[in-house]
């Protein structure tokens, strides 16, 4: 078992272990670590001796973590995140913006010209050129999980069911519409009566990350044999001409202008989605994160005080 006070050597062995896991093997990790596979193998063996447990299986069948190895890997991630946080906090006390800014946003948001995160990022990179920005594009559920696990500091997305332990702040709104594409019977439905006649038979593609029945009442009772975890997946299904589905108006606009896609019922089923900023409750953000939060709020026209 490792001693209560970790040594520099212990931290290095844990770093090597994480690099091997993320490279999925000793050979691939050679490039990241710039040492030979035999050296890596010896270092992993040293760590296993220090911990008194087998961390991974290696050999002809390939590299695989043991159950205990999975736990040590997850704990190591938290340890290194805490060390990063410490360094950023210390630098923050001197008023210097340095360190990392891990941020996640919902996929497709780059198409929204009014999205405040873009102008916030532009200003942030101007005033904090030494900060390493780490951008992720994830589904809403994955954003929340990453914030809870400490993998990212902030997330921006659509979150209809709030999770305990997280703080949500509304940044603005985005309109989403119910769309069909050329070839679908609803594409040529030009009266409300015709839309109402065809809609019950329309195959609806669901957004897997939302409770569609709750969020979009029109979807209740509609046949559905497809779902997607990202907006791009919904768009692909809609563009087949076999499905209807909800897409952000800013995302669908390019196909609408090309005449390939149209709003079902000329917008009669459109919805307004709240775009929210999410972060972990009970953790005081460091100076880097605080600065970015304020820039996002400024861009969104929000003036809410920072809550913990």
Q: What pLDDT digit, counting tens, does each position of 36-51 carry? A: 888 888 988 888 888 8
* Pair 67, 108 in one domain: no
Confidence of residue 308 (pLDDT cuts 50, 70, 90): very low
Instruction: Note whether residue 91 is domain-resident.
Output: no
What b/e readout covers 57-82, taking b as 16+ CB neighbours within 10 angstroms? eeeeeebebeeebeebbeebbebebe
Q: Does some domain include residue 1? A: no
Burial string for 233-264 (b: 16+ CB within 10 Å, else e) reads bbbebbbeebbbbbbbbbbbeebeeeebbbbb
| 111 within a domain of the structure (yes/no) | yes
| In a shared domain, residues 47 and 158 | no
CATH number at residue 215: 3.40.190.290
Q: Is 254 among the domain residues?
A: yes
Q: What is the pLDDT of residue 95?
A: 60
pLDDT confidence of residue 304: 46
Distance, CA of 24 to CA of 29 (rounded, Å): 8
Q: In which domain, by residue range, is 21 found?
A: 8-81
Is a pLDDT exceeding 90 seen at residue 260? yes
Q: How confident is the model at residue 88 (pLDDT cuts 50, 70, 90)?
A: low
Residues 59 and 175 in one domain: no
102 lies in the same domain as 77: no
In a domain, 213, yes or no: yes
Which pTM value belongs to this model?
0.60
Same domain for 74 and 101?
no
Q: Where are the strands (E) in the chain, listed by range?
A: 56-57, 64-65, 99-106, 131-138, 154-157, 166-181, 205-207, 226-228, 245-248, 261-263, 271-280
pLDDT digits (tens, 9 = 90+) for 151-192: 899 998 888 888 889 999 998 888 889 999 999 999 999 899
Do both 27 and 171 map to the same domain?
no
Statement to judge: residues 187 and 121 lie in one domain: yes
Locate 245 and state its tokens: 């589905």
Share of the chain above pLDDT 90, in %: 30
Q: How many domains does the chain have?
A: 2
Task: Tell me which of 34, 57, 81 is where a domain ends.
Answer: 81
């Amino acid at each position: 078992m490792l001693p209560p006070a970790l040594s520099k050597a212990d931290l290095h062995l844990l770093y090597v272990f994480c690099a091997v896991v993320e490279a999925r093997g000793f050979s691939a990790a050679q490039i990241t670590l710039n040492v030979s596979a035999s050296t890596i193998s010896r270092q992993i063996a040293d760590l296993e001796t220090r911990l008194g447990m087998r961390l991974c299986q290696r050999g002809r069948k390939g590299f695989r973590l043991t159950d205990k190895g999975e736990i040590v890997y997850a704990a190591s991630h938290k340890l290194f995140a805490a060390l990063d946080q410490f360094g950023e906090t210390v630098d923050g006390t001197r008023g210097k913006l340095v360190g990392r800014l891990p941020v996640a946003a919902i996929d497709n948001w780059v198409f929204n010209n009014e999205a405040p995160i873009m102008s916030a990022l532009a200003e942030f990179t101007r005033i904090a050129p030494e900060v390493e920005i780490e951008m992720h594009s994830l589904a809403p559920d994955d954003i929340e999980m990453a914030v809870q696990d400490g993998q990212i500091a902030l997330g921006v997305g659509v979150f209809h069911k709030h999770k305990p332990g997280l703080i949500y702040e509304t940044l603005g709104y985005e309109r989403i519409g119910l769309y069909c594409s050329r070839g679908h019977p609803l594409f040529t439905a030009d009266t409300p009566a015709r839309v109402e006649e065809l809609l019950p038979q329309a195959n609806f593609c669901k957004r897997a990350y939302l409770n569609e029945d709750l969020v979009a009442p029109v979807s209740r009772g509609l046949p559905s044999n497809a779902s997607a975890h990202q907006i791009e997946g919904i768009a692909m299904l809609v563009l087949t001409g076999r499905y209807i589905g909800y897409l952000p108006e800013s995302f669908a606009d390019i196909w609408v202008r090309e005449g390939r896609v149209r709003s079902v019922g000329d917008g009669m089923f459109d919805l307004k989605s709240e775009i929210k900023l999410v972060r972990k409750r009970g953790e005081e953000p460091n100076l880097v994160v605080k600065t970015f939060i304020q820039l996002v709020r400024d861009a969104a026209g929000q003036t809410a005080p920072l809550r913990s």
